[in-house]
Amino acid sequence: MGSIDEQLFQQATKLTGLADKQALLEEGLRLLIQSRKKTPQTEDNFWEALQRFRAEANLDELDIEPRIFDSDRNRHVEREIDL
């Protein structure tokens, strides 16, 4: 097995109570696999994420009308912008 950063090893030992490097490695791998199963690493593009949101959220219940955004953006061609 390759070397492990001593400070990292001490922190992991303190957090887990495991002093054996092999046991720490196995526990770390278990936790990594478990976390990836809970939050899948999918590469959604914006459109897919938007479609999923629309399917899950009850937009009619929120009663959001397009006019609510009318004052949010100055659409004038000669408007000032900050870059």
CB 19 within 8 A of CB 8: no
CA 64 from centroid of its chain's CA atoms: 27
pLDDT band (50, 70, 90) for residue 1? very low
d(CA 48, CA 75): 28
What is the pLDDT, as a whole number, of residue 40?
59
> Which of 12-16, 37-41, 44-48 reaches the highest mean pLDDT?
12-16
Asked if the model's pLDDT at residue 31 lies above 80, the reply is yes
pTM: 0.40
